[in-house]
């Protein structure tokens, strides 16, 4: 069986329009990353649930696995100063690993009910305690009960296409370089050739 990989990519990327900033705390240490994998996981309005899929290669993955807490933030597309804040969060959390130094200290934060840092320049967030995990070989899917939520800004939601158009080309190049070992690690976890 051959799969039309271009059609698969078109379909699957269409399911992931919004980059989110995920933060966590583990034994007093804070960290976070950018993800395109966030989802809503319950139809019960009074008991919302959120999902996030984190690659095992990433430090945030191990921290959420241990601590069982995370915050998922939507980023703002406008007004212009809020877009600039969103791009700073995207570049700050998605461009390097917490293994190489603190990434959270540069941002305005407050502590959520779980202790995890809330990014005050995000558009909105849900804070969650993990209730289920699914080992997906290359990554783990975390399902969380929402224990806190807030709308922080009044602009629209930032879509990944818009973000990508506004990011500096040097940053995109650096991101793509960092992505190479992550992809190789995912292939190894899946038992595929590098
Ligand atoms: C647009 C975008 C989407 C991303 N999506 C994911 C994702 O769904 N899951 C994930 O684990 N990493 C994702 N990443 C990669 C992490 O944000 C990145 O590897 C980060 O540097 C990991 O940091 P950490 O090692 O401190 O956790 C994404 C990055 C970007 C820029």
Residue 117 Cβ contacting ligand 1 at under 6 Å = no
| Contacts with 14 (C-beta within 8 Å, 6 or more apart), sequence order | none
Q: Which long-range contacts (CB under 8 A, 24 or more apart) does 176-183 make?
A: 178/95, 178/96, 178/97, 181/57, 182/55, 182/57, 182/58
Q: Is 122 exposed, middle or buried (0-12, 13-18, 19+ CB in 10 A)?
A: buried
* CB distance 174 to ligand 1 below 6 Å: no
| CB 167 less than 6 A from any atom of ligand 1 | no
Reported as a pLDDT band with limits 50, 70 and 90, residue 102 is very high
For the domain with range 5-189, which CATH number is right: 3.10.100.10, 3.30.450.70, 1.20.1250.20, 2.30.110.10?
A: 2.30.110.10
Percent of the chain past pLDDT 70, that is, above it, reads: 100
Give me the residue spans of the domains in the chain.
Answer: 5-189
Q: What is the mean pLDDT of residues 17-22?
A: 98
Query: Ligand 1 test: best mutation among 34, 65, 171, most atoms within 8 Å of CB?
Result: 34
- Ligand 1 pocket test target in 18, 26, 33 with most atoms within 8 Å of CB: 33
Tell me if 186 CB under 6 Å of ligand 1: no
Would you state the pLDDT for residue 95?
Answer: 93
pLDDT of 12 strictly over 80: yes
Ligand 1 centre distance from Cα of residue 33 (Å): 5
The predicted pLDDT at position 63 comes to 98
CA of 43 to the centre of ligand 1 (A): 27
Q: How does pLDDT run across 117-164, given as a tens digit for each residue? A: 999 999 999 999 999 999 999 999 999 999 999 999 999 999 999 999
For the chain, give the DSSP string: ----HHHHHHHHHTT----EEEEEEETTEEEEEEES--EE--S-TTS-EEEEEEETTSHHHHHHHHH-EEEEEE-B--SHHHHHHHHHHHHHHHSS-GGGS-SSTTS-EEE-TTSPEEETTSSEEEEEEEEEEEE-SSEEEEEEEEEEEEE---SPBPPHHHHHHHS-HHHHHHHHHHHHHHHHHHHHHTT---
């Amino acid at each position: 069986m051959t799969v039309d990989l271009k059609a698969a990519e078109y379909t699957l990327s269409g399911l992931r329009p919004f980059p989110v900033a995920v933060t966590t705390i583990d034994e007093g240490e804070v960290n976070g990353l950018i993800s395109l994998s966030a989802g809503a996981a319950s139809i019960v309005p009074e008991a919302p649930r959120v999902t996030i899929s984190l690659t095992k290669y990433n430090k945030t993955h191990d921290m959420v696995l241990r601590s069982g807490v995370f915050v998922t933030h939507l980023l703002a597309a406008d007004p212009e100063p809020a877009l600039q804040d969103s791009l700073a969060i995207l570049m700050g959390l998605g461009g390097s690993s917490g293994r190489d130094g603190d990434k959270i200290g540069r941002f305005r934060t407050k502590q959520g009910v779980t202790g995890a840092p809330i990014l005050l320049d995000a558009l909105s967030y849900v804070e969650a305690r993990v209730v289920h995990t699914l080992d997906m070989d290359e990554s783990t899917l975390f399902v969380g009960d929402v224990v806190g939520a807030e709308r922080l800004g009044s602009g629209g939601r930032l879509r990944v296409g818009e973000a990508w158009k506004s990011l500096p080309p040097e940053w995109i190049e650096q991101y793509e370089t960092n992505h190479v070992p992550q992809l190789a690690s995912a292939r190894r976890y899946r038992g595929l050739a590098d």
